[in-house]
């Protein structure tokens, strides 16, 4: 009887000692795979949830009926997606719902991809490839992919590419090949060889985009009959290369960050926000109504670091990109008072815990913009305290002695 009582006590002590170091990393549980197996239950026939209903996004796509909605919970998904039926695929939070791989939209029209970070497609692959019509790619972060951020090709028509942050892809931010009647609007496109390249593509409209820090060219066009206005061209060696397209809407054109350097004697026309001298671009074309200030009421700020993850150190680099020239920059950590900075910096001496971060920037026209809030955590690895280890060891030894004693006593 006593042995029956002591055995559970003994193993409880071992359990307590194991949990202090992480129970499920113990060799006792090596090779045990605990899973819940069952047929997915869809709460609403028109909505599929990932990973609740299907662990993989592609599995949900394969199982969905046309026009279904797939909602993807925040997390990291290592997948190469093929979307071949009309679906809406939505991430819970574009900063925290991450597809490490690529997305291909083809063989079906009317696809919506919204609310994801899409990154690290392998060499020669684009973040998103589209070769079907009437699709919407919006509110995504598309970065660090092997070729282009977004590639539209093969006679693709009537697509909308809007409100995306597209940065640090190997070749182009957006590339259009043999694509017509597409709307490219309100995207932030930075740090590529070419911000945008348009080849054999007509009747496309580019409005409200920011092309920044692209090493070769902001926008390169080998096409005609496209319209480009209300865009911001910032800090690229060549902002545009073109000869046959339209760079204004007959009233207003685009903002060029090197305008005043190229035309130091130009003057604003009657407080209209328009310079009196057209902006000439590489390739023998011009913007007839160049803007005196960046288009849009406020700058766009994109935070590169920190990311939505846990860091094992107390000093985190703060790295970000601002879409317009600034007169002031600051950040707020956990809703505290703004800290003024002049550029990228380091968040130092952070203790264990969860944090929220927003970066603010004011442009030269006095308009202030804010980044989306980034959530991250600090968890510095802790060594198991010597005192606790000693106590746990003593308890285990005492338990073993008691166990042996009562075993011999019974015999």
Residue 139 lies in a domain: yes
Give buried/exposed letters for 250-277 (b at 16+ CB in 10 A, else e): eebbbbbbebeeebeebeeeeeebbbee
Beta bridge partners of 358: 332
On whether residue 114 sits in a domain, the answer given is yes
Any domain includes 294:
no
Residue 171 resides in a domain: yes
For residues 373 and 388, state if they share a domain: no
Instruction: Annotate 180-198 with DSSP letters as a single string.
Output: ES-EEES-EEESSSEEEEE
Looking up residue 153, the CATH number of its domain turns out to be 2.160.20.10
| Torsion 285-286-287-291 (CA) sign | positive
Determine the structural domain holding residue 206 and report its residue range: 47-287
Pairing of strands 279-281, 285-287: antiparallel
Does residue 226 lie within any of the structural domains? yes
Running DSSP on this structure, what letter comes out for residue 225? S
Q: Indicate if 405 and 337 belong to the same structural domain.
A: no
Tell me the DSSP string of 36-75: -------SBTTEEEETTT-SSHHHHHHHPPTT-EEEE-SE
User: Is residue 183 in some structural domain?
Assistant: yes
Cα(401)–Cα(3) distance, rounded to whole angstroms?
A: 13
CATH number of the structural domain spanning residue 370: 2.60.40.10
Q: How many residues does the chain have?
A: 411
pLDDT at 247: 97
239 and 168 in a common domain: yes
Tokens of 307: 């990311």
pLDDT recorded at residue 298: 80
Per-residue pLDDT of the chain (411 residues; tens, 9 = 90+): 433 333 333 333 333 333 333 333 333 223 333 333 333 444 445 999 999 999 999 999 999 999 999 999 999 999 999 999 999 999 999 989 999 999 999 999 999 999 999 999 999 999 999 999 999 999 999 999 999 999 999 889 999 999 999 999 999 999 999 999 999 999 999 999 999 999 999 999 999 999 999 999 999 999 999 999 999 999 999 999 998 999 999 999 999 999 999 999 999 999 899 999 999 998 889 999 999 988 886 888 989 999 989 999 999 999 998 887 788 999 999 989 999 999 999 999 999 999 999 999 988 767 788 998 999 999 999 865 555 556 666 776 766 655 655 566 555
Domain shared by 99 and 229, yes or no: yes
State whether 100 and 222 are in the same domain.
yes
Identify whether residues 374 and 389 lie together within a single domain: no
Domain-terminating residue out of 287, 310, 328: 287
Residue 52 lies in a domain: yes
**Confidence (pLDDT) at 246:** 97
Q: What is the pLDDT of residue 4?
A: 37
Structural domain ending residue among the three candidates 259, 287, 315: 287
Do both 323 and 232 map to the same domain?
A: no
Residue 137 sits in the same domain as residue 58: yes
Please tell me the predicted confidence (pLDDT) of residue 8.
38
Residues 182 and 124 in one domain: yes
Q: What's the pTM value of the predicted model, to 2 decimals?
A: 0.72
Peptide bond into 325 cis (omega under 30): no
Statement to judge: residues 97 and 151 lie in one domain: yes
Domain count, the chain: 3
C-alpha span between 324 and 87 (Å, rounded): 35
b/e burial code for range 213-241 (CB count within 10 A of at least 16 → b): bbebbbbbbebeebebbbbbbbebebbbb
234 shares its domain with 121: yes
Instruction: Let me know if residue 30 belongs to a domain.
Output: no
pLDDT score of 403: 61
Do 145 and 230 have their domain in common? yes
């Amino acid at each position: 009887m006593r042995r029956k009582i002591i055995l559970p006590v003994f193993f409880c002590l071992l359990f307590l000692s194991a949990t202090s170091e992480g129970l499920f990393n113990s060799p006792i549980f090596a090779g045990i795979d605990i899973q819940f197996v069952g047929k997915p239950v869809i709460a609403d026939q028109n909505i599929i949830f990932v990973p609740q209903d299907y662990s993989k996004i592609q599995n949900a796509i394969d199982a969905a009926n046309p026009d279904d909605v797939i909602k993807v919970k925040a997390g990291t998904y290592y997948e190469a997606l093929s979307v071949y039926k009309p679906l809406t695929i939505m991430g819970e939070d574009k900063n925290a719902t991450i597809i490490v791989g690529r997305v291909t939209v083809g063989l079906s029209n009317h696809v919506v991809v919204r609310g994801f970070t899409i990154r690290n497609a392998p060499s020669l692959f684009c973040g998103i490839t589209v070769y079907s019509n009437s699709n919407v790619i919006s509110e995504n972060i598309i970065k660090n992919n092997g070729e282009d951020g977004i590639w539209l090709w093969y006679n693709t028509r009537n697509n909308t590419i809007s409100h995306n942050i597209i940065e640090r892809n190997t070749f182009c931010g957006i590339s259009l090949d043999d694509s017509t009647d597409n709307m490219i609007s309100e995207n932030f496109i930075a740090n590529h060889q070419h911000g945008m390249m348009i080849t054999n593509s007509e009747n496309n409209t580019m409005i409200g985009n920011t092309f920044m820090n692209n090493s070769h060219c902001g926008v390169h066009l080998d096409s005609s009959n496209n319209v480009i206005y209300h865009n911001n061209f910032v800090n690229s060696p060549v902002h545009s290369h073109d000869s046959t397209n339209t760079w204004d809407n007959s009233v207003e054109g685009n903002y060029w960050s090197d305008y005043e350097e190229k035309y130091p004697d130009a003057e604003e026309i009657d407080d209209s926000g328009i310079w009196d001298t057209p902006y000439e671009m590489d390739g023998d074309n011009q913007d007839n109504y160049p803007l005196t200030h960046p288009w849009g009421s406020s700058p766009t700020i994109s935070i590169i670091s920190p990311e939505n993850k846990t860091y094992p150190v107390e000093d985190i680099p703060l790295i970000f990109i601002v879409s317009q020239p600034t007169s002031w920059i600051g950040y707020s950590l956990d809703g505290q008072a703004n800290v003024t900075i002049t550029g990228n910096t380091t968040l130092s001496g952070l203790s264990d815990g969860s944090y929220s971060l927003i970066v603010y920037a004011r442009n030269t026209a006095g308009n202030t913009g804010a980044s989306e809030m980034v959530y991250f955590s600090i968890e510095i690895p802790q060594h198991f305290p010597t005192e606790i280890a000693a106590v746990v060891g003593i308890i285990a030894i005492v338990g073993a002695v008691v166990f042996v004693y009562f075993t011999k006593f019974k015999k």
